[in-house]
Structure 1
Amino acid sequence: MASYKIALNFEDGVTRFIECKDGEKVLDAAFRNKINLPMDCSDGVCGTCKCRAESGSYDLGDDFIDDALAADEADSGLVLTCQMRPSSDCVISVPTTSVACKTGQQKFVATVANVVPHNDAAIVLELDVDSQAPAFLPGQYVNIDVPGSGQSRSYSFSSAPGERRIGFLIKKIPGGVMSNWLAKAQPGQKLDLTGPLGSFFLRDAERPLLFLAGGTGLAPFLSMLEVLARTGTEQKIHLIYGVTRDLDLVLVEALEAFAARMPNFNFTTVVAEEASSHPRKGWVTQHMPAEMLDDGDLDVYLCGPPPMVDAVRSYFTENGVKPNSFHYEKFTPNAAAKEAA
């Protein structure tokens, strides 16, 4: 019997994955997995179980009334989980917290496989997961406990979902808790991880995609690009990778490899430092392709430090740019949490 993977993304950033059997309603599958999604009547009458389907295909049937879910709501992606029967893998945004649904974050253990420094700018950390490959959405992150510190740090997956070996691109911070630990880390050491987390993730590619990466904010896009390369899409994908210094441009060879695999993908690198000899200097907002922005028929994904995110948002507002959708994530290198929208 066929089954589908359903990602339940709660408003506190926690994501839980469940298997939904062919013909089974999402609400029933969630209860079977001991996740108490909001509900009251379970008959398509009250609308209490209303959520938003971010991606995937499904059938809502005819057993609900307009008061519970109006036609325009259904057309916009709202669903009643008590009536929704998936016919593919789906992502569902649940408008309440994971705690309210009596579930929580998942924890798993991984083993250090490789620690590779890139100049003085970043570190690539590769881990082998001790149990089954973790499920996550491309673009999401985990919290990694720093051994002996009592602290954790948040890092986006740079690898694709479904792999036992997972990767991260970590900014090298002088005196940083994780940077100090990684400087001495050896293969075979164990790390505790919590996740996946975050509402910054790749949706269905139904229109051209503009990716804006700042520094190690490149990481989630590497995960997204690998998924897009494997699944295939005819949509145009353009990535702008902005950094402060020449030495901050890392993993450009990975982007070149994607460009070789995907004829519809290209990228631009930009360096802000005036003393740089890079052919493109300045900020990402100075190098965005006008032909993509003019009519707003595109989806924009942005991941970078807060000043970059704020600058792009201001640029869009001041220039009347209104993308079909705009997803962004701010990160602060020393912080344990992220802000996404």
Structure 2
Amino acid sequence: MSTRMSFQVALNFEDGITRFIECRPDETVAEASYKARINIPLDCRDGACGTCKSLCESGSYDGGDYIEEALSDDEATSGYCLPCQMTPQSDLVLRIPSSSLAAKTGAAAHTATVAGIKQHSATTVEFTLDVDERDALDFLPGQYVNIVVPGTDQTRSYSFSSGPDQRQICFLMRIVPGGAMSGYLTERARVGDRLEFTGPMGSFYLRELTRPALLLAGGTGLAPLLSMLERMTQQPPAHPVHLLYGVTTDQDLVHLDTLEDYAEVIPGLTFDHCVADPSSTARNKGFVTGLMDTDTLHEGEVDVYLCGPPAMVEAVRGHIASLGVTPASFHYEKFTPAAVRQTAEAA
């Protein structure tokens, strides 16, 4: 057993809000949550009612003592646990069956300074932030934050393209003519500007990789996948990981060199890309669905992570169904230019 003084536990609520707590190996997750003033569902506190039943998506723990009526053997085998009884043996990620509001908590607020702005092309810009009290910001690779557009009362949602352990945080944004954040970043933004944001949020994040994985990105949907790859440099996968990246035109392609770098350091990582524009100079013209077959999906023994615009997400889902394959897990996030997000998953 680890001799660490405490472990980090990510509590992901039904509304997508994630809060992080520290939990000692000799205390239950419920005890640590309440000590942090986060009221996760709880009733009996002795493993008899099942009110606190949650799904552990990553990490190891001692499940403690409980009765069959509270948690069946099948549920325990599937990763369900009772926070009122479990004690951590590593960092954990738990899906909590309530909203953050019900738990009397909410998204954390942060402030930051613009450290860099890079316009890759007429369609894509990347910006980097130095966060005040960086150690107070934790997130799961794949999650996003809501950023207040300077000079307005509007917010926009952007996924981290950087990893949780990197000191600066980065985001990729598609430039939308007339867009509030697009106008700010391309016309007014300067290094040293101050920004406010809340988060992390979202149920689209990297789970523990226990089988091959297929990552699919459409346009700036590459951002959360870059965050996932950065985590894999810290925790190398034991199974193959393949990434497919599709864009509309050649100028939309960004970070191909970064993907090459990741492929050199992450065991088993391969990637390919395609461009929809028939006049593209890319080797593969068309959509990511043209690069997917039953072998790519490992006959269903695969975890799929997909981030892109709604049309792409629906096309990929339809293509997978047409192949007669049901992935072991399917996590996806849709985004629109107005930054309205929809996250979902299918086992």
TM-score range, shorter chain: over 0.9
Give the count of matched residue pairs: 340
SS of equivalent residue, structure 2 residue 161: coil
The two structures, once aligned, show a CA RMSD in angstroms of: 1.2
The CA distance in 2 between the partners of 1:179 and 1:211, in whole Å, is 27
- Alignment correspondent of 2:128: 126
Is 1:175 the counterpart of 2:200? The answer is no
Moved more, 174-183 or 5-14: 174-183
- Alignment correspondent of 2:59: 56
Kindly provide the amino acid, as one letter, of the partner of residue 174 in structure 2: K
Deviation of the 1:314 alpha carbon = 1.0
The CA distance in 2 between the partners of 1:337 and 1:300, in whole Å, is 18
| Match of residue 88, structure 1, among 75, 87, 90 | 90
Aligned residues of 2:215 and 2:243 also touching (Cα < 8 A): yes
Aligned residues of 2:63 and 2:81 also touching (Cα < 8 A): yes
Aligned residues of 1:6 and 1:18 also touching (Cα < 8 A): yes
Is 1:139 the counterpart of 2:142? The answer is yes
Is 1:27 the counterpart of 2:43? The answer is no
Deviation of the 1:234 alpha carbon = 2.5
- Alignment correspondent of 1:290: 294
**1:37-116 residue pairs with structure 2 within 5 A?**
37-61=40-64, 63-116=65-118
Deviation of the 1:292 alpha carbon = 3.1
Deviation of the 1:33 alpha carbon = 0.4
Cα shift readout 1:135-179 (whole Å, capped 9, x = no counterpart):
000000000000112100000000010333100011111111001
Deviation of the 1:289 alpha carbon = 4.8
The CA distance in 1 between the partners of 2:337 and 2:233, in whole Å, is 29
SS of equivalent residue, structure 2 residue 232: helix
SS of equivalent residue, structure 1 residue 295: helix
- Alignment correspondent of 2:260: 256
- Alignment correspondent of 1:148: 151
Aligned residues of 1:143 and 1:336 also touching (Cα < 8 A): no
SS of equivalent residue, structure 2 residue 332: strand
Cα shift readout 1:51-106 (whole Å, capped 9, x = no counterpart):
11011101112x21100001001111111111111100000001110000101110
- Alignment correspondent of 1:191: 195
Deviation of the 1:25 alpha carbon = 0.4
Can you give the 5+ residue segments of structure 1 that lack an aligned partner in the other structure? none
Moved more, 167-176 or 281-290: 281-290
The CA distance in 1 between the partners of 2:6 and 2:79, in whole Å, is 21
- Alignment correspondent of 1:11: 14
- Alignment correspondent of 1:300: 304
- Alignment correspondent of 1:316: 320
Is 1:331 the counterpart of 2:327? The answer is no
- Alignment correspondent of 1:232: 236
| Match of residue 284, structure 2, among 280, 286, 294 | 280
The CA distance in 2 between the partners of 1:91 and 1:307, in whole Å, is 30
Distance 1:150 1:338, change over 3 A: farther
The CA distance in 2 between the partners of 1:10 and 1:151, in whole Å, is 24
Normalising by structure 1, we get a TM-score of 0.97
Identity %: 53
Deviation of the 1:334 alpha carbon = 1.8
The CA distance in 2 between the partners of 1:164 and 1:280, in whole Å, is 36
Can you give the 5+ residue segments of structure 2 that lack an aligned partner in the other structure? none
- Alignment correspondent of 2:226: 222
Deviation of the 1:232 alpha carbon = 1.6
- Alignment correspondent of 2:164: 161
